[in-house]
Chain A
Amino acid sequence: MKAPTRASKLAPIFLVTAFATGMLATPASAQKQGGSITVGLELDITGFDPLKVGVFDTAALTAASAMFETLTYLDDKGETKPKLALSWVPSDDFKTWTFKLRPGVKFHDGTPFNAEAYKANFDRQKDPANKCRCAFYISGVKDVQAPDELTLVYHLADPAVNFPALVSYSNQNAAVQSPTAWKTKGDDYNRNPVGTGPYMLKSWTAGDRMILERNPDYWDKDKIYLDRIILKPLPDAQSRFASLQSGEADLVWDDEWDADNVQKAQKDSKLTVHTYTGSGASVAAFNTKVAPLDDVRVRQALVMALDRKKWSQATTNGLAKPATNPYGDGSWVKCKDDGALPYDVEKAKALIKDYGKPVEFKMLFTATPRGRANGQVLQQFWKQVGANMEIEQVDQATIPPRAFMRQFQVTPWRIVDLADPDTQMYANFHTGSPVALANYSDPELDKLLEDARTTVEIDKRIEDYCAVSRLINKEAIWFWNFQNTYYAISSAKVKGLPKMYSGVIDVSRTWKE
């Protein structure tokens, strides 16, 4: 989609001209000032202190993107643009990135935002004594230095040519929080967050609603229209949708498992369905060290037996988008040939027959209705080609340890939506990585992954990643189910919602007509 554009704009990305003022491209219609928006989210937000919550979930991310800011953001074309940073420049080996910060920005409590404050955030998360679950996601960063007030230097363990895009949304690591606030509030900071963003926390009733009010001193306040954002947890999908219909909510989070309502909303002129397909996918890994999955014919047969369209129809009314590679529509990696194995029952049967021994194995699923539904669909597909899969339902939290200890034959997994494929592709497929779940090692694959992470030219990286996809598909060590697609439904009056990169619903720059 955007691969050629990105390649040609590569040079300017690295040295964004300073003082680029406009945050977002001017939308077509005139924005109305004032008013408030009520957003219905699925989950209760637990808090914002990374040390406490570890990872921000979808609900926390919506609040975080209004209260906190990041160094950069991605515009609607997917290009990295300045936010708290004004410009950035990499070293020749792409292991050091130097950011120039925006001057004059203050946190809601008056603390000045500067390189020291940024470094304090990073150091707190990285400090082994704090045992933050969030530290995992910055394990690739050696340290952050603050040589002067407005200069920030990132030292990375491995080269990252697209690093600024990786700090572009308000997750637990990239959202900058006020050091004064967490130091003074201690245990209470978690529910009294302080950032630099366009909205500040006004009140928060646990389990009910969080009210955010416009920050009058925001550095880009001309681009902020609403006076107030109200976030409510509405855990039940049916009543959440009813709240939207009855006007109590202006925008609600949704997903493809609530396909009925999404499709109803698509036909309703009073409602708008916002959707975005990001990068990554829901996937599954074969343990290639245990029979019968140690035989490539068996693995290929199992993948060829998958009719993803039918699967999508059965579980999500056809909303879920089939995936044929690990990158997805939202990724800049576009392959002419990703090497996907075709859906071919006859060929699959022949391969199993060729293998000659009975094909029986277990696959892990989460102990949820969704896990069971997926399990039953796969069971049917595989039965058709002569393979018997036994469903093993386990608690969600049990899957990662089982996967890490390789105590599985087939396990579900997810490639999450990140702006660059490197981190996950390297971790998932490079020999020796703890997350290389397939237990599969191939020097050719390793070489491609290493090359992709150190190459600057986008075209060359795309070639590498497509070759990686062809190799994985041919050996059938993992398979891809559905792409990461996000949904939000709003009243048709709500305008200006940006693309939901990584599934984040950021309402901070919306307005109501």
Chain B
Amino acid sequence: MVFFIARRLLYLVPVLIAVSLLTFSIASLLPGDLAYVILGDQATPEKVAALRADMGLDQPILWRYLGWLGHVLQGDFGRSFRTGQTVLQAVAERLPISIELMLLAQLGALAIGVPVAIICAARSGGPFDRFMTGTAFGMLSVPTFLSAILLIYLFAVELRVLPATGYVPLAEDPLANLRFFVLPSLTLVLAEWPGIMRVLRSDMIATLQEDYIALAKAKGLTPSRILFVHALKPSSLTLVTVTGINIGRLIGGAVIVETIFALPGIGRLLVSAISTRDLIILQGVVLLVAAGFVIMNFIVDTLYAVLDPRIRHGHA
């Protein structure tokens, strides 16, 4: 097991290098040179050349990348040239918000998706199954920007029970904080539970056709014991992957939801970094988010091994 974890950890290094190199090149190749963005309506050729030289933008890409990587390895992700904030400061301010949103959304989605999937699988083809599968399909097709606006209209403008936008730090007032998170997380829950439900349902239907389930039935075990004890665990491999990927993705911020609900999370930070060509922030944040994503995947892989011993021993 230790060897397994060590080997997986070693895989992280090339992945992170590839991610950072890609981000760096994409950011550098974006249309609209940084010097032009900074100079705006006074971007005369001479000024642009002077600024590029000043910021080191005239150096070859690889050279700049290595310089940046050198600093990153020493823990210095750089400072935004617009706000003067360091990347770590900016991320530290915003990460808790994205993480809270991600956790609430995942818990909500699991709380709806898992039970619905189990019931549907147990009575697959029945009226409840058909109804829920149809609903899930419908909900998958509703984009978050639409459901977000509908929820705001219903709960904030018409009923006035929940705030439309904004945020209060958790440390300041936990209850108020939760109130602000209800609609954004609900928006994400609506988008995420169908995926969870569909994946678990189909895996479970497959599991329920296995011989050992028939054996369990023959032994006279109760249907609920069969479902929750014998069928759920082996059916949850894909579910773990999907949840893991969702968590990784949402660490990078739910860009649309954060924008609509004006939550100051990582997603908003990225959007504003892109629109102002704040490359230092952009590169730093993408690298940190990628690291989070990769680590999350690593945890998922490890969980696999826990769930299914065959993987641990390399037989899968």
Residue A233 lies at the interface, judged by CB distance under 8 Å to chain B? yes
Given contacts A206-B93, A238-B149, A242-B153, contact A398 B32 (CB under 8 A): yes
Residue A208 lies at the interface, judged by CB distance under 8 Å to chain B? yes
Closest to A187 in B: B84
List A contacts of B277 (CB < 8 A).
397
Question: How far does the alpha carbon of A276 sit from the alpha carbon of B45 in the complex, in Å?
Answer: 36
Given contacts A131-B51, A232-B262, A239-B164, contact A52 B81 (CB under 8 A): yes
Main secondary structure of the interface of A (DSSP, over half): mixed
Residue B135 lies at the interface, judged by CB distance under 8 Å to chain A? no
Residue A315 lies at the interface, judged by CB distance under 8 Å to chain B? no
Q: CB distance A46 to B276 under 8 Å?
A: yes
Question: How far does the alpha carbon of A243 sit from the alpha carbon of B180 in the complex, in Å?
Answer: 12
- What is the interface size of chain A, counting residues whose CB is below 8 A from a CB of the partner? 48
Q: CB distance B42 to A397 under 8 Å?
A: no
- Among A131, A238, A394, point to the contact of B260 (Cβ < 8 A): A238
Bitwise, A392-426 to B at CB < 8 A (1) or not (0) is 00111110110011000000000000000000000
Given contacts A49-B84, A190-B83, contact A246 B40 (CB under 8 A): no
Interface residue ranges of B37-95 to A (CB < 8 Å):
37-45, 48, 50-51, 54, 79, 81-85, 90, 93-94
Residue A235 lies at the interface, judged by CB distance under 8 Å to chain B? yes
Q: CB distance A205 to B40 under 8 Å?
A: no
- Among B39, B40, B157, point to the contact of A245 (Cβ < 8 A): B157
Stretch at the interface among B209-217, B264-272, B293-301, B306-314: B264-272
Given contacts A52-B81, A190-B83, A242-B152, contact A400 B43 (CB under 8 A): yes
List A contacts of B30 (CB < 8 A).
395
Chain B interface category by residue count: 35 or more
Q: What is the minimal beta-carbon distance from A201 to any residue of chain B, in angstroms?
A: 15
Stretch at the interface among B107-115, B123-131, B165-173, B188-196: B165-173
Closest to B31 in A: A395
Interface residue ranges of A44-86 to B (CB < 8 Å):
44, 46-47, 49, 52-55
- Among A53, A191, A239, A246, point to the contact of B262 (Cβ < 8 A): A239
List A contacts of B166 (CB < 8 A).
208-209, 232, 243, 248
Bitwise, A229-242 to B at CB < 8 A (1) or not (0) is 00011111011101
Given contacts A136-B42, A248-B164, A434-B44, contact A208 B264 (CB under 8 A): yes
List B contacts of A232 (CB < 8 A).
165-166, 262
Residue B236 lies at the interface, judged by CB distance under 8 Å to chain A? no
Residue B23 lies at the interface, judged by CB distance under 8 Å to chain A? no
Q: CB distance B268 to A44 under 8 Å?
A: yes
Residue B304 lies at the interface, judged by CB distance under 8 Å to chain A? no
Closest to B155 in A: A246
Q: What is the minimal beta-carbon distance from A247 to any residue of chain B, in angstroms?
A: 8
Q: CB distance B82 to A47 under 8 Å?
A: yes
Residue B261 lies at the interface, judged by CB distance under 8 Å to chain A? yes
Q: CB distance A207 to B94 under 8 Å?
A: yes
Q: CB distance B260 to A207 under 8 Å?
A: no
Residue B233 lies at the interface, judged by CB distance under 8 Å to chain A? no
Q: CB distance B262 to A397 under 8 Å?
A: no
Question: How far does the alpha carbon of A53 sit from the alpha carbon of B81 in the complex, in Å?
Answer: 8
Residue A188 lies at the interface, judged by CB distance under 8 Å to chain B? yes
Q: What is the minimal beta-carbon distance from B97 to any residue of chain A, in angstroms?
A: 8
Interface residue ranges of A121-140 to B (CB < 8 Å):
131, 133, 136
Closest to B159 in A: A246
List B contacts of A434 (CB < 8 A).
44
Given contacts A239-B164, A246-B157, contact A395 B262 (CB under 8 A): no
Q: What is the minimal beta-carbon distance from A331 to any residue of chain B, in angstroms?
A: 20
Q: CB distance B83 to A239 under 8 Å?
A: no
List B contacts of A53 (CB < 8 A).
82
- Among B40, B50, B90, B265, point to the contact of A54 (Cβ < 8 A): B40
**Once A and B bind, how many residue pairs between them come within 8 Å at the CB atom?**
142
Q: What is the minimal beta-carbon distance from A414 to any residue of chain B, in angstroms?
A: 9
Bitwise, B212-245 to A at CB < 8 A (1) or not (0) is 0000000000000000000000000000000000
Q: CB distance B42 to A239 under 8 Å?
A: no
Question: How far does the alpha carbon of A248 sit from the alpha carbon of B152 in the complex, in Å?
Answer: 12
Q: CB distance A205 to B33 under 8 Å?
A: no
List B contacts of A55 (CB < 8 A).
40
Question: How far does the alpha carbon of A188 sit from the alpha carbon of B167 in the complex, in Å?
Answer: 24
List B contacts of A46 (CB < 8 A).
82-83, 276
Residue B259 lies at the interface, judged by CB distance under 8 Å to chain A? yes
Residue B148 lies at the interface, judged by CB distance under 8 Å to chain A? yes
Question: How far does the alpha carbon of A396 sit from the alpha carbon of B43 in the complex, in Å?
Answer: 12
- Among A191, A207, A248, A405, point to the contact of B269 (Cβ < 8 A): A207
Bitwise, A26-60 to B at CB < 8 A (1) or not (0) is 00000000000000100010110100111100000
List B contacts of A207 (CB < 8 A).
93-94, 264-265, 268-269, 272
Given contacts A187-B79, A239-B261, A400-B41, contact A395 B32 (CB under 8 A): yes
Given contacts A395-B32, A397-B277, contact A235 B40 (CB under 8 A): no
Q: What is the minimal beta-carbon distance from A113 to any residue of chain B, in angstroms?
A: 24
Question: How far does the alpha carbon of A404 sit from the alpha carbon of B39 in the complex, in Å?
Answer: 12
List B contacts of A131 (CB < 8 A).
50-51, 54
List A contacts of B84 (CB < 8 A).
47, 49, 52, 187-191
Closest to B165 in A: A243
- Among B45, B153, B167, B272, point to the contact of A44 (Cβ < 8 A): B272
Question: How far does the alpha carbon of A249 sit from the alpha carbon of B8 in the complex, in Å?
Answer: 49
Question: How far does the alpha carbon of A248 sit from the alpha carbon of B40 in the complex, in Å?
Answer: 35
Q: CB distance B40 to A397 under 8 Å?
A: yes
Given contacts A133-B40, A136-B42, A400-B41, contact A242 B156 (CB under 8 A): yes
Closest to A244 in B: B164
Q: What is the minimal beta-carbon distance from B255 to any residue of chain A, in angstroms?
A: 11
Closest to A236 in B: B260
Q: CB distance B94 to A206 under 8 Å?
A: yes
Interface residue ranges of A187-235 to B (CB < 8 Å):
187-191, 205-209, 232-235
- Among A47, A235, A249, A398, point to the contact of B31 (Cβ < 8 A): A398
Q: What is the minimal beta-carbon distance from B169 to any residue of chain A, in angstroms?
A: 7
Question: How far does the alpha carbon of A398 sit from the alpha carbon of B90 in the complex, in Å?
Answer: 28
Q: CB distance B44 to A52 under 8 Å?
A: no
Q: CB distance B264 to A205 under 8 Å?
A: yes
What 13 additional pairs, Cβ within 8 angstroms, besides A187-B79, A242-B165? A44-B268, A54-B40, A131-B51, A133-B39, A207-B269, A207-B272, A235-B271, A239-B148, A242-B149, A243-B166, A246-B156, A246-B163, A400-B41
25 example contacts (A-B, Cβ-Cβ < 8 A) are as follows A47-B84, A53-B82, A133-B39, A187-B79, A188-B84, A189-B84, A191-B83, A208-B262, A235-B271, A236-B260, A239-B165, A239-B262, A242-B152, A246-B157, A246-B160, A248-B156, A249-B165, A396-B32, A397-B37, A397-B43, A400-B40, A401-B36, A401-B45, A404-B44, A434-B44
Nearest first, the 9 A-B pairs at minimum CB distance are A207-B264, A395-B32, A397-B32, A208-B264, A187-B84, A246-B156, A242-B164, A395-B31, A397-B37
